[in-house]
Amino acid sequence: MLDEYGPIGWREEKARLSAVAAALNEQPASAALFMIRYTKKAGLPAAKKRAAGILDYLTGNGRLKADRVKFIFSEQPENGTRIYLTPADAIKDFLPL
C-alpha cells in the first residue's frame, strides 16, 4: 500500500496525489489502484465524483495517462482512501471510471 487516509481537505489530498504521480513517474510499468471507501449516507455517486476529481488531477497536474489509474469502490462504516501501487498489467482489465 502506498498511502491511506480518511476524510481530508482537497489541499492535503492534492499533496498526496502529487506523491502518487511522482511514484508512478519513477516506475513507468506501474499503475495506481485507488480503493474509495464510502458510507451509505455519503453514497456511491459522491464517491465516483471524488474519483473523477482525483483522475482529473492526476491526468492534468500529474501528467499521467488515465489507463494508469483505476478505482474500486466499497461501502464501509467510514469514508477513506487506500492507494496501491501495482504492475500496470495487473489492472489493465479493470473497467474505466
pLDDT averaged over the chain?
94
Q: Which of the four pLDDT bands, split at 50, 70 and 90, describes residue 96?
A: low
Average pLDDT over residues 54-74: 93
Q: Do 69 and 23 form a contact (C-beta atoms < 8 A)?
A: no
Average pLDDT over residues 13-18: 96
Average pLDDT over residues 66-95: 91
What nine digits make up the cell of 26?
519513477
Count Cα neighbours of 13 within 13 Å in the Cβ-side half-sphere: 19
pTM over 0.75: yes
**pLDDT given for residue 92 in this prediction:** 77
Domains of the chain: 3-89 (3.30.1330.60)
